[in-house]
Structure 1
């Protein structure tokens, strides 16, 4: 990547990448690195470019296509149950949305960065955490005991609102009584829904979401937008509406108008895990984000891994599966074939649709694009006095989703010499296809301008003097958006229920991308593969 100029904005909150030159303070030379994992392989598949004949054929009992959380969970579970005859085809990016990176001694996430404490219903996640030593005792109990190194410690989160930092992410300081009363009413309603049970005897909202109620009320909530539900229930507080929109963009990559009411409520009602040594609803985090769990599962699974991606998954007459694979080596494809008794397709569904023969159609699923930027900070910027630097730092009213601090869990008398600020932006303000086109065409300066929008709002001109390096990761199809009607999608239902030579395992089956869902489908696919 050629050296580019890092443009710093003067007034950040409402600025866009198209701001005029007058909006910039000055120039500073840095060397931003921009990566788009999977883009080259994905476009190769999309364009159906010609491939050479396979150079070799391999055989295995179970073939796992992918190396994200669903794939790694399947590999971990197979190995744990004593089944070692499996291969893993990595796909374009090992660990997928759970990947991370390093600036020397400083680790950082390039995808998801935390995991809420799992409830008892989320037994598969607790089993993983226990095997990795994150849960140290009582994995089956209501309140397990966790390794305290990974329990998020305070200060947890703060919000820059009207020029001042305040604790938490929901605006509350200086608001009229009517707005605060509306906040209180919303969370009281959420608390009631958290324990609600549907007419079919299942909890209304839980993890894994497959175990949630599917009664008529669930269908009603699934069929309407979260914005419609909010209006129907009389919520009009600007601060609350902003907060609910932020939450949806953070977990789903889209706003309240785009996601279903069921998904919007599930964000608040589906969790609530407890711990013997932490407060209810606490979070787990690592400097490298969820790569800590991904690499831990890989260590336990000990998979035989192959670099490459699937081109065609074909079920044979004898019931086995043949997979044509390719790997790009300096842009030149090399192909090979793998035959297996069963294949676990842990690829995103929009990729599987181009690869797996006779796959049921999933008509409504769209994927949100994300941008993740990691700033190596050579010295900590000076903070405003109202609230200290927190693990998660959010700015009200911007397009960003805030930034997290990689060294937050380091308990030291003095802060480390350097740190990494990881900023997240979901391009939720435009059509996903248009957003992907913009990401492909955008210059390094434009990407940096968007990536630094919250950091510039928080620190102004001084921020540029603290930055040593910037790495930007573009995720064009980062996560499925749970649009209204997604739970009743016929194609998704068919894929969830398939139990033949090809099994599906990806968070896309749930319609939204979180660790609890991805790992569930990998766990269940491994169980089915083990049945013979």
Structure 2
């Protein structure tokens, strides 16, 4: 955002002098910038030499990666009584489920909510019941959830034509013809939600591998979501903006690039209900999914160790065991250690696994042909010493979205707090999917962008909502850059033979990551973690 745009948002020439001073204050914000995995990746890519291992660690099962897939594998192993398990955290503990703190205020640096699991997502219900998030009746039509984590109202609002309105799809000031298109699309979603293929399976479910494989649905994965919408005659600008926003929010990628099957799956796959919440409710925590990650790690009893794997290979007579060479990087100084185990669960993103697993091609995965495209993300957490004054018409909500791109809006960390009066401080977490440029261009920009440029992009939605007044309320800014945040489900992803091969791999090394499905959501990561645990328990 340039100075002229910012001042225009602030309310015109009459406020220019005050705006200019506060705009300079905005530019002078020096964010703390974190790029998980960047230093380790560049060290290896640039040929950094690792010293000989300073330690050899023996265990029965090693899990490489501590994201939701790795944690779900550890949870399942622990539930089955397996205690000889070691988890190597990777460059950032909990990966896309990580969070942080400003003192007592928690905030997310990755995922920040979980939809109510549908009946088919038994593995998610297992986990949530074991962790106490489902209080009772976990497998019933409407489980009873912990009241503290069910999203409180007001849940969401959208800033459209300078006015806030409830919900995320603009309706105020929208023509009757456009609203009719909204209704037509959501009626189609309801039809697709119960649609079954010739094999008897629902067309769109979690886990996605349980979705119908009826060939009649294959054409949906050959075209983009936008192409499908064009075919169906959807023209409403507000509907198309909303559908594009949803794809960017869940997949980090625009609707004119995402597979039509993935775009429809977003809407038609989930149908979770709760005894103590309305349909379509969400579960959320001040620190986002870090709260679930912490609970999974504690419930599993897994031993964890900092470090990143640089190689993973079979070892021993007949290749019946595994060896993982791991390292840490502290101030540019590398230290390595070797882990020997009977089994390894490779719970790393596939673009990493492709470089780490020795001869991964032997598993049927060709890195050049089968590695997914990855979407970059930016998450900025603004520690607020005061709440900025709101525009009228709809109150501050948990999720606050501005009808523009590339921002995804911002969530309020203290929204779930139950207080008589607002807290003295809060955290606004702003999300940006850099979908307005190619992934390669976005990663290049991330590498070179100054702190002021990062703050300006991260704060664009906040500036639209509050103008110059926002800068005066900010105390600190923490920005997390995720250059390969999530796999993007582009057309053809469902027929990716390399992903299918890794899903079936069974032996000393098994794989577990949402990438095996081709898109990154909790239900998929947890599914592959549990499946990997079942394989190594055999």
**TM-score, normalised relative to structure 2:** 0.94
Give the equivalent residue in structure 2 for 1:341.
342
Give the equivalent residue in structure 2 for 1:506.
513
SS in 2 for 1:254: coil
Measured after TM superposition, the shift of residue 199 of structure 1 is: 1.7
**TM-score, normalised relative to structure 1:** 0.95
Size of the aligned set, in residue pairs, is 518
Measured after TM superposition, the shift of residue 23 of structure 1 is: 8.7
| Alignment of structure 1 residues 239-318 onto 2, 5 Å | 239-316=238-315, 317-318=318-319
Are positions 1:236 and 2:235 aligned together? Answer: yes
Q: Distance in 2 between matches of 1:229 and 1:369?
A: 25
Distance 1:7 1:374, change over 3 A: farther
Are positions 1:475 and 2:476 aligned together? Answer: no
Measured after TM superposition, the shift of residue 509 of structure 1 is: 0.6
Q: Distance in 2 between matches of 1:119 and 1:241?
A: 26
1:79-117 C-alpha deviation (Å, 9 max, x unpaired): 110000110011100010000001011110011000000
| Alignment of structure 1 residues 7-406 onto 2, 5 Å | 9-11=6-8, 26-28=23-25, 29-316=28-315, 317-359=318-360, 360-362=365-367, 363-364=369-370, 365-406=372-413
Measured after TM superposition, the shift of residue 214 of structure 1 is: 1.6
SS in 1 for 2:388: coil
Do the aligned residues in 1 keep the contact of 2:68 with 2:94 (CA within 8 Å)?
Answer: yes
Q: Distance in 1 between matches of 2:310 and 2:407?
A: 36
Q: Distance in 2 between matches of 1:190 and 1:12?
A: 37
1:327-383 C-alpha deviation (Å, 9 max, x unpaired): 112211111111111100000000000000121125251100000000011111111
Measured after TM superposition, the shift of residue 530 of structure 1 is: 0.5
Q: Distance in 1 between matches of 2:373 and 2:65?
A: 20
Q: Write 1 or 2 for the structure with the bigger share of helix.
A: 2
Measured after TM superposition, the shift of residue 8 of structure 1 is: 9.4
Q: Distance in 1 between matches of 2:216 and 2:483?
A: 34
Give the equivalent residue in structure 2 for 1:444.
451
Measured after TM superposition, the shift of residue 127 of structure 1 is: 0.9
Q: Which runs of 5+ in 2 are unaligned?
A: 11-18
1:276-333 C-alpha deviation (Å, 9 max, x unpaired): 1111110000000000000001111121111111111111234111111111122111
Q: Distance in 2 between matches of 1:180 and 1:417?
A: 40
Measured after TM superposition, the shift of residue 25 of structure 1 is: 5.6
1:208-265 C-alpha deviation (Å, 9 max, x unpaired): 1111112212211111111110101110111111111000000000101110000000
SS in 1 for 2:359: coil
Q: Which runs of 5+ in 1 are unaligned?
A: 1-5, 14-21
1:162-203 C-alpha deviation (Å, 9 max, x unpaired): 000001010111111111111100000010001111122111
Distance 1:347 1:11, change over 3 A: farther
Give the equivalent residue in structure 1 for 2:416.
409
Distance 1:355 1:458, change over 3 A: same
Q: Distance in 1 between matches of 2:319 and 2:358?
A: 16
Q: Distance in 2 between matches of 1:290 and 1:8?
A: 35
Q: Distance in 1 between matches of 2:125 and 2:21?
A: 48
Do the aligned residues in 1 keep the contact of 2:136 with 2:143 (CA within 8 Å)?
Answer: yes
SS in 1 for 2:414: coil
